[in-house]
Amino acid sequence: MNLTEALEALCVATRANGRSARTVGSYRQKIAPMIDFLGDGNVQSVTVNDLRRYVAGLMDSELSPFTVASRVRHMKRLWNWLEAEGHLEQNPVQRIKTPRPKREKPKGISREDLQALLRDTQGKELIDLRDRALILFLTDTGARVGGVCGLRIEDLDLEAGLATVVEKG
């Protein structure tokens, strides 16, 4: 089995196991650079040194530490899945560690920027009321923009003042 076939088989298995199409897309996006680096050879021919060179190249690149860690996690997922499925005699990722990026304080909006956004939404037009409500909702709940963008009418209980926000993870 070559690497491209292995990636496709992982994606099919992942989707069949009930994971989202978005998760499958993430696997394709994050594992494809490894295949580009290694070439589309047989999975049995890849060594731990090949994968170490790939990881070292990621760490020396312009990618953020979080992107590097994500690509390494996805790479390990592929190789561990291949081992679990019986496609490998020896798993080359067993001795590769996932880099741990330093966690920084969560990003937030400055008080001045928040006040400027609220000033810009003081109008009485429907769009101003909507924008102000969204800004206040995000500020008060700490929800992610993506979660709020996915809200539907049935996710709201206006009488109870509740919203069910579904976010990544």
Residue 146: per-residue pLDDT: 86
Question: Residue 25 pLDDT more than 80?
Answer: yes
pLDDT tens digit string along 110-167?
Answer: 899 999 999 999 989 999 999 999 999 999 888 888 888 888 999 999 899 889 998 8
User: What value does the mean pLDDT take over residues 19-30?
Assistant: 94
Distance CA 14, CA 20 (A): 8
The residue with greater pLDDT, 39 or 108, is 39
Question: Residue 46 pLDDT more than 80?
Answer: yes
Q: What is the pTM of this model?
A: 0.66
**What DSSP string runs through 76-110?**
HHHHHHHHHTT--SS-TTTTPPPP-PPPPPPP---
Residue 169: per-residue pLDDT: 58
Residue 109: per-residue pLDDT: 84
Question: Residue 69 pLDDT more than 70?
Answer: yes
pLDDT tens digit string along 85-115?
Answer: 999 989 999 999 998 888 777 777 889 999 9
Q: What is residue 72's three-state secondary structure?
A: helix
- Mean pLDDT, the chain, rounded, equals 92
Distance CA 85, CA 28 (A): 19
135, 121 in Cβ contact below 8 A? yes
